[in-house]
A and B are shown apart, each in its own frame.
Chain A
Amino acid sequence: MNHSFKCRTSFLCVTGKNILSRAQMNHSLLNVGLHPMQRCLLIFLAVTGVSFLSGLSLTSASEPIAIKVGKILTCSDNPEMPEFIADGVILIRDGKIEAIGAQSDIAIPEGYQVVEHPEGFAMPGLVDCHSHVGGTSDLNEMVYPTNPELRNWDQIVPHNQRLKFAIAGGITTVCFIPGSGTNMGGFGTLMKTGPGTLNEVIIRAPGVLKIAQAGNPERQTGEIGSGRMGMNYVLRQQLLEGQMYVRQWDDFENGLAPKPEVNLRLEYFKPLFRREIPVAVHTQQYQVVMATIRMLHDEFNLKILIDHGTFDAYHLGEELAKRDIPVIVGPRGFWLDREVGQMTGIVAEYEKRGVKILGVNTDAPVIPQEDLSFQATMAVRLGWSDERAIRGLTIEPAKALMIEDRVGSLDPGKDADIVISTGSIIDPRNYVTQVFINGKSVYDIKVDKRLF
């Protein structure tokens, strides 16, 4: 469950579930900029602290809520959870979904605040895999071709103006990543769009590594990296260095080698090469995506997600499907083959070729953050299916980011990130009326100015 790192000496894996969820609340406090050993120590203290102070919540417990809605789209992979629930109810307690089902099946316990949307649709909060509006816009350090030492969670401005619009569009989770100015832009953050302190809004940091191939990171200053051959070499060399570093630490932790020196520049490669976080790859066009598959997936055995996959790259759909690589398409949505003169819907083409974990992104502010659902609208217009599109806005990107245990579907135990809209969010005529993040109402058009 805990993706930011899995410390070998941690006993999180044997602790009970409710303790773990408390630890998880704290973990965001702990995982920012600390050495893993320090973090382990802190987690130890926190967990023991919780067990001593059991019953006292470290975060203020909010009132439990029961949401009654006309229709629930669960986006759940759980075979026992139906895809749709008519006249449903969702119980929320301690920021998590407690129970979900038909109103006829679930009795609302005493003391729950009841929120009613008899005509409304409820769905999980939307997840955007590619966003640059989580904080300030200093996204690129343009000095080195690769920057594994950089991290962007110090740039975050929680609940900023763009994120308020994002919430009004139903987006509750974004992957806030560095830009594509260099081949390796740094480590990005998975964060909630709602209000709170930095620690409260971070889901995981480091969230992803941003790698950019071709196009934007081409270097014009005469050094290596002005073309794809050079850029690919630069990337492989850097990854090899990281791989070696992590191997040294693995050997040390397994008692096979002496303790290596800490190298801040390579430290975040640990969760990456331990396959606990993915690489979000800025990659598009056939050859470039092929290089992504061969270098990052086949050669370095990394978890990756294709984070543009546009132009003619959909021809690699089978290759990607074979390896179960997630594809998050955007901000471009179609490809025009100039020789044929016909428009091709990129997402639909990937679907046709069997890519399972398939979604859309905005690359906000390239496309406004709140228009994520509209990206899906257009993908459906160009041939995708409505049902897959709803999942492609929620559970599929959550899987691509490896946070599907926290967000992306309405299942008991997951974060209570719930979007209420006037109808299917894929239809641009419908709009969001209320949004809950971590079980708290953060946008309600009955109270707040309607933003989108």
Chain B
Amino acid sequence: MATRIFSHIGLAFLVLALNATAAMAQERERGRGRPQPPASEEKAEAQTPEAKAAPETPPKKLLAITGGEIHTVTGEVIRRGTVLVEDGKIKAVGRDISIPEGAEVIDASGKVITPGFVAINMSNLGLRGSPFGNNKIEDALDPFDRNMKFALGVGITSGCVEIQTQQGGRGRRRDSDSDPINGNLLASNSQNTTTSNSTSTDATIDEDADSANDEVREVTITELLGYDRREGEPEHRFLGIDPEFGDYVTESQLDYGIENTQLCPCCGLPILPTEPITETPPSQEQPRRHAAIKLAYGNLDDMFLKDNVFYSPAPGGLSGALNRHNWRRDIRKAREELEKAASAANRPAEAPSATPPSGATGDPRGGTRGTRPTAGAGGAAAASARPSATTTQLMPLLKKEVSLRVTANTVTEIRDMVTLAEELDYDLVVEGGIEAWVAAQELSRSGATVIFTPRQKRDPRLGEEDTSGSSIESTGMFEAQGVPFATAALSNSVSMGGIAGRDLTSLPLEAAMAVRGGASNRKALESITIIPARMMGLDDRIGSIEVGKDADLLILNGDPLDYRTYVEQAIVAGKICYDRAADQVYPLYDRK
């Protein structure tokens, strides 16, 4: 995984890969998603001499944006400053920058310059169709998706897209027959299922499935919970379909809690879940897969940023005693594997046999991501030299190269996730966080970050009016308690149906709503720039205006969070990808 990330960055850095990766590895060690001092100057210095030492490179493409009010995000606001861009990277920022000969100059006097906004949630954008399973995301990129213009027009230059890892709705049971590997994990009839619909033919997966079944048979639920089957109860009670374990509950029911599900309009009594309890146990959901892309309209080469920017368990995948048990076991096995690898690395002679084969970690999005974290991974795999797919997937999480991104909305869910993250020692990103304001202190202490939508609303639970439900003042409390938050729009995609201000293109307005909730303008701007960049481990490339970072820049006609502000020009990787006057996707008019 690590090598893979580095190889991509290395491509971007051309011949500077070795120096740069070393610097970035250090930077990564300092912690993800937490405020960091600007660290790019040293990199830039390291970069300059080598760049000069390559005389055969073609002439540099220079771009200077002058005269604007520069909101660097990580540093101070520079009035009437200049941003100098060289080959898609920021070369210099400041007030007294001499503009080299031959540079293209954009006069941004009276304008505001900010880094391109980073949308932590995007969908149906920049992708043709949906990359599926373990397909390469590069193959699905669409550099001429016109919706990108609407996103660029409000300032979104990069973001995180969720890649569908399986068919069917999220949080829903699927017919186990359709997924022989994930289905029937616990049922005894799992051995009879076929592999006809398998999305992968990797032999490791079959091993995983077998070992999973072995493992599960050893751990009976009765042992696990100390709860014997009562008279008259169906045998399948434990097979993940008890609502107590959260397995068959829909996502909204998980979010809202049973007591807040639909109420009868006549009598006010809750309508109980009507989903039929069938004999078939639920299938294990695959983890969600997220990738970071840039909205580099027209420039395919600049679009791909990084795959697998999070480890995101399936919705509900960490709720319930059984899921937790499996999760702890998987983490423990992966950590053992990690330690084994580390000790092997210390003893060079034995390294080749104990180190995970390069195919498992070095291949970008190789076979590993198409699989799911097998609940029973381990067992036989732990004994063998080759780590299981699950273990391989969990390595970056344990190395803190990626964060665990998990949806948690009620305060109970949030506290559970915080406790688990502290116990198992990984970085946590809480998505949703409707009741995170109640647990702001715990979140702050644990170093977790939150993906938050200020306008998301939920009524409090009866009798818990002061400690449940949404709060418009959440963002103010996050800032006061030191919980970094990324703002997400109410919807992840660009919607052209006519409803204004509630789709992805309302991202800066949603950040304005964070100000309404009590956050400062500065924190609100961070919440759509550097914070989401840090969450994805991409703060060395995007999210602020600093020397050495990608030149993803906006030229705005007003304050970045003002509702009247439009992007005049959006620059992605040093190239102008959007021009308001030329593209004409938003209305053009003269503001009185």
Which A residues are closer than 8 A to B by beta carbons?
136-138, 161, 165, 310-311, 331-336, 340-345, 348, 367-368, 371, 374-375, 377-383, 385, 426-431, 449-452
Whether A332 and B500, one on each chain, are in contact in the complex, defined by CB atoms closer than 8 angstroms, is yes
Nearest CB on A from B265, distance (A): 7
Query: Contacts A382-B587, A431-B516 hold; do A310 and B472 have CB atoms under 8 A apart?
Result: no
| One of A334, A368, A374, A450 near B498 (C-beta < 8 A) | A334
Cβ 8 A contact of A331, one of B455, B499, B585: B499
Assuming the contacts A136-B265, A332-B499, asked whether A429 and B585 have C-beta atoms less than 8 A apart, the reply is: no
* A333 in contact with B498 (CB, 8 Å): yes
Whether the Cβ atoms of B584 and A138 lie closer than 8 Å is no
Does B230 make an interface contact (CB < 8 A)?
Answer: no
B563 pairs with A342, CB closer than 8 A: no
Extra contacts, 17 of them, besides A332-B500, A348-B587 (Cβ < 8 A), are A161-B459, A336-B498, A341-B146, A341-B585, A342-B585, A343-B150, A344-B587, A380-B563, A381-B500, A382-B586, A427-B512, A428-B512, A429-B512, A429-B515, A431-B472, A431-B516, A449-B465
Nearest to B149 among chain A residues (CB) is A341
A338 to B, closest residue via Cβ: B496
User: Measured between alpha carbons, how far is A417 from B494 in the docked complex, in Å?
Assistant: 38
Chain B contacts for A342, CB-based, 8 A? 584-587
Interface residue B513 (Cβ < 8 Å from any Cβ of A):
yes
Q: How far is the CB of A239 from the nearest CB of chain B, in Å? A: 29
Instruction: Tell me the smallest distance from the CB of B320 to a CB of chain A, in Å.
Output: 31
* Cβ distance B429 to chain A, nearest Cβ, rounded Å: 26
Interface residues of B, dominant DSSP:
loop
Say yes or no: B500 contacts A378, CB within 8 Å.
yes
What are 10 A-B contacts with C-beta separation under 8 Å?
A138-B265, A331-B499, A333-B499, A333-B500, A335-B498, A342-B587, A343-B586, A367-B499, A426-B563, A428-B513
**Across-interface contacts of B496 in A (CB, < 8 A):** 336, 343
B465 contact set on A, CB distance < 8 A: 449
Please indicate which of the listed interface residues B146, B471, B562, B563 has the most CB atoms of chain A within 10 Å of its own CB: B563
Number of interface residues of B (CB under 8 A): 33
Contact check, A137 vs B265: say whether CB atoms are below 8 A apart. Answer: yes
How far is B293's CA from A73's CA once the two chains are assembled, in angstroms?
46
Complex interface: chain B residues within 8 A of A378 (CB): 500-501, 563
Contacts of B472 in A (CB 8 A): 431, 450-452
Question: Does B227 sit at the interface, judged by CB under 8 A?
Answer: no
Asked whether any CB of chain A lies closer than 8 Å to the CB of B497, the reply is yes
Distance to closest chain A CB from B196 (angstroms)? 41
Residues of A within 8 A of B586 (CB): 342-343, 382
In the assembled complex, which residues on chain A have CB atoms less than 8 Å from the CB atom of B509?
Answer: 377, 381, 428
Contacting pair B457 A427 (CB below 8 A):
no
Q: Tell yes or no: B564 within 8 A of A by CB.
A: yes
Which residues of B are found within 8 Å of A368, using beta-carbon distances?
Answer: 457
Q: Are A334 and B500 in contact (CB under 8 A)?
A: yes
Q: Name B501's contact: one of A336, A377, A383, A449 (CB within 8 Å).
A: A377
CA distance A368 to B265 in the complex (A): 19
> Which of A311, A383, A450, A452 is in CB contact (< 8 Å) with B587?
A383
Q: Which residue of B lies closest to A138 (CB)?
A: B265
B155 CB to nearest chain A CB (Å): 13
Closest residue to A385 on the B side, CB-wise? Answer: B592
On whether the beta carbons of B501 and A333 are closer than 8 Å, the reply is yes
- Write the B492-521 contact mask toward A (1 if CB under 8 angstroms, else 0): 000011111110000001001101100000
Chain A residues with CB under 8 A of B500: 332-334, 375, 378-379, 381-382
List, in ascending order, chain B residues with CB within 8 A of A345's CB. 587
Contact with A along B550-592 (1 / 0, CB 8 A): 0000000000011110000000000000000000111101001
A138 to B264, CA, bound (A): 12
Chain B positions within 8 Å of A335 at CB level: 498
Min Cβ gap A362→B in Å is 11
Q: Of all chain A residues, which has the CB nearest B506?
A: A378
Using known A-B contacts A341-B146, A341-B585, A368-B457, determine if residue A311 contacts B501 with beta carbons closer than 8 Å.
no
Q: By the criterion CB–CB under 8 Å, are A348 and B501 in contact?
A: no
Q: B592 contacts which chain A residues (CB < 8 A)? A: 385
The interface residues of chain B lying within 8 Å CB-to-CB of A381 are: 500-501, 509, 563-564
Given contact pairs A310-B498, A450-B473, A452-B472, A427 touches B563 in the complex (Cβ within 8 A): yes
The CA-CA distance from A428 to B511 in the complex, in Å, is 10
- Chain A residue numbers with a CB within 8 Å of B146 are 341
Specify which chain B residues have a CB less than 8 angstroms from the CB of A375 in the assembled complex: 500-501
**Complex: how many Å from CA A241 to CA B25?**
81
> For the complex, what is the distance from the CA of A61 to the CA of B571, rounded to whole Å?
63
B452 nearest CB across to chain A (Å): 16
Task: Report A388 CB to chain B, min CB distance, Å.
Answer: 10
Give the residue name and chain of the A residue nearest to B510 (CB).
A428
**For residue A138, which residues in chain B have a CB less than 8 angstroms away from its CB?**
265
Interfacial chain B residues near A431, Cβ < 8 Å: 472, 516
Residue on B nearest A340 in the bound complex, by CB: B584
A157 to chain B, nearest CB (A): 11
Task: Give the nearest-CB partner of A360 in chain B.
Answer: B500
Q: For A428, list chain B residues within 8 Å (CB).
A: 509, 512-513, 516, 563
Q: What's the nearest-Cβ distance from chain B to residue A390, in Å?
A: 14
The reply to whether B501 and A374 form a contact with Cβ atoms under 8 Å apart is yes
Interface set, chain B 383-405, CB cutoff 8 A to A = none
- Tell me, in angstroms, the Cα distance from A380 to B565 when the chains sit together: 11
Report Cα–Cα, A451/B516, bound state, in Å: 11
Smallest CB-CB separation from A333: which chain B residue? B500
